[in-house]
Amino acid sequence: MKKTIFLLIMMITFATVLFFNWGKIGMADTGVGQLDRFADVLNKKDISITSWNLYAREAKMNTSVTKIIGDYKEKFKNFKWTYTDNGNKIIGTFNHKSITERIVITSTSSNSSYVIYELSGTKWDQHAEKETKSLIKNSMENIFSKEPTIFTCIKGTMGGKLEGVLQGIKNDFLGTFKATKIEEIKEGAFVSVSAYTEQWNDALVANGKKINLQIAIRENNVDKSTTIILGTPIITVEY
């Protein structure tokens, strides 16, 4: 159990390092298309979608948090704003009917910060796709001055704990996305693999290798279910 927790912490740390520090290649605004692709794959495999997230991130250099938050409060008056981490992090939230919209501003120094724009929901269908595109169009240009880095993630659950086939499920997903494994961690009822696929161009660079797909699979001994999480270029939620 302790080893499993350690591995999870290592994977989350690995994801965090990638998310905040490592290089990127051609981060185009393909998040909605990638969510469509993920959802289509899960649906075809009879896996029920339980949540999805789309993130966009940009560093704000030589701009004070005070100025940034002032601008955002003016542009996003419907958002509820809260301060955390001794005032170093400001979070704006607006709950739509089926989608939650968040803006997170985190101070890294007296004159630098980074901004994360997040959309999340529990169901991905044509309505969610249409609303997401509309929110992105209305909000992105008021948040980012450059092309932001895009991250997407989707989670699904399939009934029935399938003993001894985690590697089979992993290989099935790698084959579906025509992806090459770059790094893998496995421990008991959990496996996570980082990979690269040419099905889209976005990628991060880790130790000279491109990564743009992460797959995590966990079997739950309590309810006998299997959870699958797909992320690009990496998974940015806890699993």
Give strand pairing partners of 178.
none
pLDDT band at 161 (very low <50, low <70, confident <90, very high): low
* Domain chopping of the chain, boundaries: 2-232
Residue by residue, DSSP assigns 174-200 as: HHHTTEEEEEEEEETTEEEEEEEETTS
Residue pLDDT, tens place only, 171-196: 999 999 999 999 999 888 899 999 99
Give strand pairing partners of 204.
24, 211
Cα 204 from Cα 19, distance rounded (Å): 9
2-232 belongs to CATH 3.30.1490.20: no
pLDDT at 135: 93
